[in-house]
Chain A
């Protein structure tokens, strides 16, 4: 399952296939991503955060309607990389999984729904908690710099959620195939299912 490190590593062949299908630039981005994942344990947590945040903030912001033709679509990290773009959710997800692969504990990361006050828009960021009750650091695609939450007066926190809890629930329910038929898939379950299918060998 995806809960352990090393799940996102790809073979040369798979990367070459991306080259053929999506072009050289897409392949380069994936190459860099793979390198990032593999070299994860060389860095401190803060360095990992900066590397992942910078890497994904390079990509272009494209809203879902334009990008995927759907109102609200959560793309997988690979889809985001290959398509060279995404919205706030796509970036938060991509950063979350990348950092997870680089060895950051899921207990320290939360996906946080916020309101971007200046844009007057619903927005999502990834937050990092050095300790459970500490002031978190904010990884945002609107502001490339990682700053403590109390420095982000432009954002109003709404609610955070612990992805690993969902993760476990997801892992369990994946054992029975008919769950998807009886309950509407949440965006989370949907994206996890797609990640699983991308990296199932």
Chain B
């Protein structure tokens, strides 16, 4: 959160080194151009004036000499011809012959022709046009004077050419210098850019190490310091995350099969079945292998373990393409599978395939008996209790066992009335209509900071609600999986973003809002573009938005998710991961993902005050996250005792009915 305030205080973007250097080069050349043009024009101007002066004087002298004889003879036509012969060569502005007394005898003059020279130039650069004069003699006596003014057009052209030539010379040199200079700077600054991106990464909680040290001494020291920091953080993180992984394995993993244990299975199931925000229906499959005890005693424990491990492999492979499925070893010879938001026909297919897998174990010779095991299936609906669901599955398992070798059976509720709102077709219509009509309501649930006396609000998570055909309120857990399967999730996400942005712009209330993005949206390039454009239009509000991604969505493509988060953070928004820890994934990706917080899955926080194994794991998880400056929020906190337990573990925030129920927002 500090980061946002820092962004706000930054003010206008500072100028890059590039631009500064380019400006200096341009400035230098402009100054050089002006200086050179001024000096060279002045010199050339003086030179040209002198040239014009001597030219005028020479002409006046020779004309005076030539005119002396006709003047003496008083032969005006000859004098006119002589003056014309000189004047018509075009180098003169005027030639005037005057007698000693009286008005001019011969007078020639033209207006100044300064073609190819702009008017402003002749106005600005004034040429003082010199005159030359000489006597016209009549024998010993002075008969008159001849005055010659040179034509300055040539001089102006010369001056103007000097200016334009100088301009082009400077212009081309400046362009060359800019190209060479910027290329040089580009090379010089290459290491600096790497330093910049490393520093930026550290600001975004990414601790990458720069392998190539820059040659410049100052930069090298900087990079070394940052590398040391990143290295230290990485070390601490690795240590913490190894510890956390180990604790989690001790608490939740079965060493023989590598799957979750009964503890894990029960927590998962309970969170999924009983949490109001989770998918509201699904299936539990219980698999029981026969003869495991017999193999253990007659052949040996190793053979028994081999059988269990292989069974685990087969089950894992079978559910690998089912997004909401997870499995665990629930008993000595039993496996459990939770399938979230699955259609009845798909459950039946899954059970049949698993039954086939049981035979596979016999084919592979891991077990000699033909009756390898049985499978029981139970479906849960919104409002069901975990204990009831498990009991139903048990009954189904008994039925399967008694109905034949490697059989499976799905438990059917006695009353038989299904609460699901119809088939997939009506659902889609209903949902599409809901979205089009804007019948999706937004609720918001407070997330508060712990370790503060007044329960400071961290943010409010925006939750979707819609009405079913009968008018009852449906939580996102009920309809989102369906929407996702039908490709409507991104549309719903868009709708949510639009409405929250509109609300934020209107409301004076300064709270931050967290918006959930579905996994499909996370990998939709078009959506990202749209979102960045939207956020770009309201830059003053982006610091009040946080986007929550699911761990499942992030893990599907970590690189894409990282890219997405970077883009969002560039606009000023925050990012977090929802339902963290649901799978057995490693924590390594957290180092570079750049999120501000994790919301740990409700399956870990429920009853945490009573479960020591869980406490160890959650505490280690919190320490791991804190080592890389990521905050931890606990989901589904419902009792004061849970809150106290979490607070002693330094959790940063809590969410759940204890902190506040979801309330209508828009």
Write the residues of chain A forming the contact surface with B, with a CB cutoff of 8 angstroms. Answer: 110, 112, 127, 129, 132-136, 138, 149-150, 157, 159-162, 165-166, 169, 172-173, 176, 178-179, 182-183
Is B137 a contact partner of A135 (Cβ separation < 8 A)? no
5 contacts between A and B (CB under 8 A): A133-B100, A161-B135, A165-B133, A182-B50, A183-B50
Is A160 a contact partner of B53 (Cβ separation < 8 A)? no
Stretch in contact with the other chain, from B138-146, B268-276, B404-412: B138-146
Q: 17 new A-B pairs (CB below 8 Å) besides A127-B140, A132-B100, A159-B65?
A: A110-B135, A110-B142, A112-B140, A132-B101, A133-B100, A135-B140, A149-B139, A159-B135, A160-B137, A161-B61, A161-B64, A165-B132, A169-B57, A169-B132, A172-B130, A176-B47, A178-B47
The A-contacting residues of B in range 129-178, CB under 8 angstroms, are 130, 132-135, 137, 139-142
Question: Which residues on A sit within 8 Å (CB–CB) of B50?
Answer: 173, 176, 179, 182-183
Task: Determine how close the nearest CB of chain A comes to the CB of B51; give it in whole angstroms.
Answer: 8
Task: Determine how close the nearest CB of chain A comes to the CB of B74; give it in whole angstroms.
Answer: 14
In the complex, which residue of chain A has the Cβ closest to the Cβ of B61? A161
Task: Determine how close the nearest CB of chain B comes to the CB of A92; give it in whole angstroms.
Answer: 15
Question: Which residues on B sit within 8 Å (CB–CB) of A127?
Answer: 140
Q: How far is the CA of A159 from the CA of B64 in the complex (A)?
A: 9
Q: How far is the CA of A159 from the CA of B67 in the complex (A)?
A: 11
At the interface, yes or no: B68 with Cβ under 8 Å from chain A? yes
Contact of B134 among A134, A138, A165, A172 (CB under 8 A): A165
At the interface, yes or no: B46 with Cβ under 8 Å from chain A? yes
Question: Which residues on B sit within 8 Å (CB–CB) of A110?
Answer: 135, 142
Given A165-B133, A178-B47, residue A173 in contact with residue B140 (CB < 8 A): no
Is A161 a contact partner of B53 (Cβ separation < 8 A)? no
In the complex, which residue of chain B has the Cβ closest to the Cβ of A133? B100
Given A161-B61, A162-B134, residue A135 in contact with residue B141 (CB < 8 A): yes
Is B53 a contact partner of A136 (Cβ separation < 8 A)? no
Is A136 a contact partner of B134 (Cβ separation < 8 A)? no
**Interface readout for B588-614 with A: 1 if CB under 8 Å, 0 if not?**
000000000000000000000000000
At the interface, yes or no: B441 with Cβ under 8 Å from chain A? no
At the interface, yes or no: B362 with Cβ under 8 Å from chain A? no
Task: Determine how close the nearest CB of chain B comes to the CB of A50; give it in whole angstroms.
Answer: 20
Question: Which residues on A sit within 8 Å (CB–CB) of B266?
Answer: none
Interface of A: prevailing SS: mixed
Question: Which residues on A sit within 8 Å (CB–CB) of B130?
Answer: 169, 172
Q: How far is the CA of A25 from the CA of B139 in the complex (A)?
A: 40
Is B61 a contact partner of A182 (Cβ separation < 8 A)? no
Question: Which residues on B sit within 8 Å (CB–CB) of A149?
Answer: 139-141
At the interface, yes or no: B54 with Cβ under 8 Å from chain A? yes
Question: Which residues on B sit within 8 Å (CB–CB) of A173?
Answer: 50, 53
Task: Determine how close the nearest CB of chain A comes to the CB of B627; give it in whole angstroms.
Answer: 79
In this complex, how many residues of chain B approach chain A with their Cβ under 8 Å: the count is 22
Task: Determine how close the nearest CB of chain B comes to the CB of A131; give it in whole angstroms.
Answer: 9
Write the residues of chain B forming the contact surface with A, with a CB cutoff of 8 angstroms. Answer: 46-47, 50, 53-54, 57, 61, 64-65, 68, 100-101, 130, 132-135, 137, 139-142
Question: Which residues on B sit within 8 Å (CB–CB) of A159?
Answer: 64-65, 68, 135, 137
Is B140 a contact partner of A157 (Cβ separation < 8 A)? yes
In the complex, which residue of chain A has the Cβ closest to the Cβ of B53? A169
Question: Which residues on B sit within 8 Å (CB–CB) of A172?
Answer: 53, 130
Given A173-B50, A182-B50, residue A161 in contact with residue B142 (CB < 8 A): no
Question: Which residues on A sit within 8 Å (CB–CB) of B142?
Answer: 110, 129, 132-133, 160
Task: Determine how close the nearest CB of chain A comes to the CB of B491; give it in whole angstroms.
Answer: 84
Q: How far is the CA of A182 from the CA of B43 in the complex (A)?
A: 13
Question: Which residues on B sit within 8 Å (CB–CB) of A169?
Answer: 53-54, 57, 130, 132
Is A134 a contact partner of B141 (Cβ separation < 8 A)? yes
Is A157 a contact partner of B54 (Cβ separation < 8 A)? no
Q: How far is the CA of A166 from the CA of B133 in the complex (A)?
A: 9
Q: How far is the CA of A162 from the CA of B65 in the complex (A)?
A: 13
Task: Determine how close the nearest CB of chain B comes to the CB of A3; give it in whole angstroms.
Answer: 17
Question: Which residues on B sit within 8 Å (CB–CB) of A129?
Answer: 142
Question: Which residues on A sit within 8 Å (CB–CB) of B141?
Answer: 133-136, 149
Task: Determine how close the nearest CB of chain A comes to the CB of B504; give it in whole angstroms.
Answer: 75
Contact of B140 among A150, A161, A165 (CB under 8 A): A150
Is A157 a contact partner of B135 (Cβ separation < 8 A)? no
Question: Which residues on B sit within 8 Å (CB–CB) of A136?
Answer: 140-141
Question: Which residues on B sit within 8 Å (CB–CB) of A179?
Answer: 50
Q: How far is the CA of A173 from the CA of B50 in the complex (A)?
A: 7
Task: Determine how close the nearest CB of chain B comes to the CB of A158; give it in whole angstroms.
Answer: 8
Question: Which residues on A sit within 8 Å (CB–CB) of B64?
Answer: 159, 161
Question: Which residues on B sit within 8 Å (CB–CB) of A112?
Answer: 140
Question: Which residues on B sit within 8 Å (CB–CB) of A183?
Answer: 50, 54
Contact of A176 among B46, B65, B68, B139 (CB under 8 A): B46
Is A161 a contact partner of B134 (Cβ separation < 8 A)? yes
Task: Determine how close the nearest CB of chain A comes to the CB of B101; give it in whole angstroms.
Answer: 7
Is A182 a contact partner of B65 (Cβ separation < 8 A)? no
Is A157 a contact partner of B100 (Cβ separation < 8 A)? no
Task: Determine how close the nearest CB of chain B comes to the CB of A175; give it in whole angstroms.
Answer: 8
The 8 closest A-B CB pairs, nearest first, are A149-B140, A133-B100, A132-B100, A176-B46, A157-B140, A159-B65, A179-B50, A160-B137
In the complex, which residue of chain A has the Cβ closest to the Cβ of B133? A165
- Which of A150, A161, A165 has the most B CB atoms < 10 Å from its CB? A165
Task: Determine how close the nearest CB of chain A comes to the CB of B146; give it in whole angstroms.
Answer: 11
Q: How far is the CA of A182 from the CA of B135 in the complex (A)?
A: 27
Q: How far is the CA of A166 from the CA of B54 in the complex (A)?
A: 10
Task: Determine how close the nearest CB of chain A comes to the CB of B178; give it in whole angstroms.
Answer: 36
Question: Which residues on A sit within 8 Å (CB–CB) of B68?
Answer: 159
Q: How far is the CA of A191 from the CA of B139 in the complex (A)?
A: 27
Question: Which residues on B sit within 8 Å (CB–CB) of A134?
Answer: 141
Task: Determine how close the nearest CB of chain B comes to the CB of A85; give it in whole angstroms.
Answer: 28
Question: Which residues on B sit within 8 Å (CB–CB) of A162?
Answer: 133-135
Q: How far is the CA of A183 from the CA of B49 in the complex (A)?
A: 13
Given A132-B142, A133-B141, A183-B54, residue A160 in contact with residue B135 (CB < 8 A): yes
Task: Determine how close the nearest CB of chain B comes to the CB of A156; give it in whole angstroms.
Answer: 9
Q: How far is the CA of A169 from the CA of B54 in the complex (A)?
A: 8
Task: Determine how close the nearest CB of chain A comes to the CB of B79; give it in whole angstroms.
Answer: 16
Is A182 a contact partner of B47 (Cβ separation < 8 A)? yes
In the complex, which residue of chain B has the Cβ closest to the Cβ of A173? B50
Q: How far is the CA of A136 from the CA of B135 in the complex (A)?
A: 14
Question: Which residues on A sit within 8 Å (CB–CB) of B65?
Answer: 159
Question: Which residues on A sit within 8 Å (CB–CB) of B47?
Answer: 176, 178, 182
Q: How far is the CA of A182 from the CA of B55 in the complex (A)?
A: 13
